[in-house]
Structure 1
Amino acid sequence: MFDQEARLERMLARHGDAAVVEPLAGRPTVVRRDQILVAADDAAVVEDRIRRWYDSSQDEGGVCLMRLRPRARVDVCELASRLGGDGRHRKLAVAPNHLMYGQPMWWSGPADRPRPCDPVPAPSAAVPPRRDVTVAVLDTGMSPHPWYEHADWYAEQRAEVAEVLDADLDFELDAQAGHGTFIAGVVLRHAPSARIRARRVIGGDGVGDELDVVRALQWVAAWGRADVVNLSLGCHTFDDRPSPVLARVIASLGRGTVVVAAAGNAAGDRPFWPAALKPVIAVAALDGEDRAWFSNYGWWVDACAPGVDVASCYLDLSRERPPMRGLEAGAFTGYATWSGTSFAAPAVAGMIAGLAAAEDLDAVAAADRVLDPVKARTLPDLGVVV
């Protein structure tokens, strides 16, 4: 297990505009300094109200990133709270730009490394699919792999979705490199005919921010062809309430798209977003019949699936030139095992997609079948066992 304080220090050094905040005692999170996110409909009102601190803004497809003057030293959490209102119903959709983390790399909780394993047989469908199903994987991107590198859907992926293995050029494999590739493989193990649509929203260090995730979800909404969206990432918010900006964009996906998200690996019941949003299926991890010791749990968790020593496709680092170091890089030849709620979530996403493809169901109907508490066992604070 990583030294979490050391990990946090390295993360803050790598992301110089990030700051740890703790408006609620004992419940920290990390935000981008001097940045707030505002729904486009509320941008004009917010800009007028913050004009004494306002520096610049960047508007793109329904969300506006507003930058504040650093010398003003504005507490972005307090500002978002005042603008949005402290009552049950927010007046304006405003949020700090929270950092988002791929799981298992949440700095305040347990972490896990991938481990090399023997080749895993390529997935194959037991019965021919009755319809095409697309799963959007918003993560670290995807690297080529024999399981899918000749598939037409993979050929359609743009170059910018490729995984970045060593972003800081230190010849060390980034801590979460291969995360997206691994997750895509878990989806395919349960839905071999699925078409994966990847988009990179977090780096190889496992860190992105809410703005990146919101814009990727807007892209999915505009594209309009995703049956299932997998988000093996998330964060705790400064006030333990959902970000209204993130909530709005997930709602914009419409009722035909199912969103599945990892419940997080902090081993607690503090809501983890976006998993804890009502329209999202939050997935915890099992170790055998019981909750994996690292998995989050709580009233907001909808389902649970195996999340310990999950096997999937991974990077082939024996071909890297110059060779990678770290994480026994040379031992990885395309397959690995990994643990975390990150890998329980795509199992559920894959089961939904696989059932939809096999029985010609829409994704919502397939999700209702997979998560039917009448036909499946349920566990307190972990939801339906999938």
Structure 2
Amino acid sequence: MFDQEVRLERLLARHRDVTVVEPLAGRPALIRRDQILVAGHDVPAAEDLVRRWYDSRQEEDGVTRLRLRSPAKVDVCELAAQLGGEGRHRRLTVSPNHLVHGQPLWWSGPADLPRPAAPLPAPQAADGTAATDSTAATAGTAGTAGTAGIASAQGEAAPPRREVTVAVLDTGLSPHPWYEETDWYAEQRDEVTEILDSDLDFELDAQAGHGTFIAGVLLQHAPAARVRARRVLGGDGVGDEVDVIRALSWLASWGRADIVNLSLGCHTFDDRPSPVLSRAIAALGRRTVVVACAGNAASDRPFWPAAHKSVIAVAALDADRRDRAWFSNYGWWVDACAPGVDITSSYVRFDGARPTVNGIDPDAFEGFARWSGTSFAAPAVAGAIAGLAATGLSAVEAADRVLDPAAASTLPDLGVIIRS
């Protein structure tokens, strides 16, 4: 376990323009000081209203970041609330620039460090094709092997299959035997490579390998899926709301993602969804399914974007896969739960400086690790949806079937149980 106060101090020391805000007692959030995000059509009006504090603006994909003069000491949360308006309907689409965090580690939550694990065999599609085969995108998936087998036994034609693309917005992807020979990885390898030791202290950054691990969980459930990575978190697991919005806007323009996995999130200053982020999610369209982790604060406080009504929020099951993992968030806004404790998946290759203990090197990784967190429950659900969609369904149809409470067990405040 971690001393969370120490972790928060380290985060604030590393990100010196970050501050903790607590407009609602006992409900803190992290934001970038002197920054507000504005949706494009509202920029002129917002600029006019903040002109006395205005410093500069930065155009991003799908959003504009307004920077305010630091000496003015503007409370950007209060300003965003005033610009947005009171009540259910907002006037301007404005938000502070919240920090987002990968989940297993968050400054008020628990989870653990990744631990070296023995190698796993490469995920196999229904026809026995490994995910490392560049033709695997047209093969079946582990989640639908039974369907194909039944059809064959009955002499019926197997259902038509299709390629399913899952976007993973995270820390990036490191090379791994499970997918490094695929065409989809070759197309993006250089632009998404993870940064493992950004501070050059000969130790892995706190969440280095997070994206690689998530891709492995996804492929274990849907070996034929095509992964489209986008780096929005640093190796410390910290990123900005604005970077997530930019990535979502890019995906909306690209238009080829069936499913988006977001194993990250934050609490907002007012416990309401960021209207700017909500707009970016809506721009993906109704044919794209968004899956997000519920967070690791052991709380029912809404965690965004998972708590958004158009997003599938995924909590973590415990090691027995029968109840909530103690660290997992929960609540009315959670849609599903999946295994999230001691998950084994693909990871980076790295040998750190920590000494051997009882004959075990705690930071010598050979491409596989065990890790816990709602971060790893989310891609299990995304993979289940991708596997079913590969049989010819749309992602939305597949999600409806996977999350159908009439066909699966449920748990209060955890939603539909996805155990496989």
Scaled by the length of structure 2, what TM-score is found?
Answer: 0.89
Structure 1 residues 324, 159: closer, same or farther in 2, change over 3 A?
Answer: farther
* Correspondence for 2:411 among 372, 379, 383: 379
The answer on 1:216 being equivalent to 2:247 is yes
Confirm whether residue 268 of structure 1 aligns to residue 299 of structure 2: yes
The DSSP-based 3-state class of the residue aligned with 2:83 is helix
Q: How does 1:221-232 map to 2 (within 5 A)?
A: 221-232=252-263
Matched, 1:41 2:73: no
Query: Do the aligned residues in 1 keep the contact of 2:35 with 2:96 (CA within 8 Å)?
Result: yes
Residues 116, 364 of structure 2: 8 Å contact kept: yes
Larger radius of gyration: 2
Letter of the 1:257 partner, please give it.
T
Checking the alignment, whether the CA contact within 8 Å between 1:307 and 1:343 is kept in structure 2 is yes
Q: Is the 8 A contact 1:173 1:325 kept in 2?
A: no
Q: 1:135-185: CA deviations, max 9, x gaps?
A: 000000000000000011100015231100011122221010000000000
State how far apart, in whole Å, the 1-side matches of 2:366 and 2:94 are. Answer: 45
Deviations 1:323-353 (A, max 9, x none): 5558956521111111100000000000100
1:195 aligned residue: 226
Compared CA separation, residues 244 and 144, structure 1 to 2 (3 A): same
Please give the per-residue CA displacement for 1:177-200, whole angstroms capped at 9, x wherever unaligned: 000000000000000000101010
Counterparts in 2 of 1:3-18, with a 5 A limit? 3-18=3-18
Partner SS, residue 109 of structure 2: coil
Q: Please, which runs of 5 or more residues in structure 1 have no aligned partner?
A: none
Residue aligned with 1:121, SS: coil
Aligned to 2:274: 243
Are the equivalent residues in 2 in contact too, given 1:317–1:329 (CA < 8 A)?
A: no
Deviations 1:56-98 (A, max 9, x none): 0011232000000001000000000000012111111100000
What is the 5 A alignment of 1:104-123?
104-123=104-123
Q: Which amino acid aligns with 2:258?
A: D
Distance 2:180 2:189 in 1: 13
Structure 2 vs 1, CA of residues 41 and 7 (structure 1 numbering), >3 Å: closer, same or farther? Answer: same
Deviation at residue 126 of structure 1 after TM alignment = 1.6
SS of the residue aligned with 1:180?
helix
Instruction: Provide the secondary structure at the position in 2 that maps to 1:218.
Output: helix
1:16-65 C-alpha deviation (Å, 9 max, x unpaired): 10000100000001000000000001000000000000000011232000
Distance (whole Å) between structure 2 residues aligned to residue 193 and residue 106 of structure 1: 32
CA contact (8 A) 2:21 2:30 kept: yes
Range with greater deviation from structure 2 (55-64 or 218-227)? 55-64
**What letter is aligned with 1:341?**
T
- Residue deviations 1:345-365, cap 9 Å, x none? 0000001001111x1111000
Counterpart of 1:170 in structure 2: which amino acid?
A: D
**Structure 1 residues 236 and 344 mapped into 2: Cα distance closer, same or farther (>3 Å)?**
same
> Which residue in the other structure is 2:174 paired with?
143
Instruction: Say which SS state the counterpart of residue 332 (structure 1) adopts.
Output: strand
- SS of 1:317's equivalent in the other structure is strand
Match of 2:199 among 140, 158, 168: 168
Which runs of structure 1 show a deviation greater than 6 angstroms over 4 or more consecutive aligned residues? none
* Equivalent pair of 1:117/1:335 in contact (CA under 8 Å): yes
* Counterpart residue number, 1:317: 350
CA distance in 1, matches of 2:181, 2:327: 36
Counterpart of 2:322?
289
What does 1:286-365 align with in structure 2 at a 5 Å threshold? 286-287=317-318, 288-318=321-351, 325=354, 330-357=363-390, 359-365=391-397
Q: What is aligned with 2:133?
A: none
* 2:187 aligned with 1:182: no
RMSD: 1.2
1:115 counterpart letter in structure 2: R
Q: Where does residue 135 of structure 2 map in the other structure?
A: none
Higher mean C-alpha deviation, range 204-213 or range 108-117: 108-117
Counterpart Cα distance in 1 of 2:348 and 2:363: 10
Amino acid at match of 2:30: V
Rounded Cα–Cα distance in structure 2 between residues aligned with 1:289 and 1:329: 29
1:173–1:324 Cα contact (<8 Å) kept? no
CA contact (8 A) 2:115 2:362 kept: no
User: What's 2:124 paired with?
Assistant: 124
Distance change in 2, residues 1:157/1:325 (3 Å)? farther
Kindly tell me the number of residue pairs found equivalent between the two proteins. Answer: 381
Distance 1:98 1:60, change over 3 A: same
CA distance in 2, matches of 1:65, 1:370: 38
In structure 1, the residue matched to 2:31 is 31
1:241 Cα deviation from its structure 2 partner:
0.3
Quote the offset at 1:104 in angstroms: 1.1
SS at match of 2:287: coil
Please give the alpha-carbon distance, in whole angstroms, between the structure 2 residues aligned to 1:334 and 1:83.
48
5 Å-filtered alignment, 1:76-91, equals 76-91=76-91
Please tell me the residue identity of whatever aligns with 1:302: D
Instruction: Provide the rounded CA distance (Å) in 1 between the counterparts of 2:353 and 2:334.
Output: 38
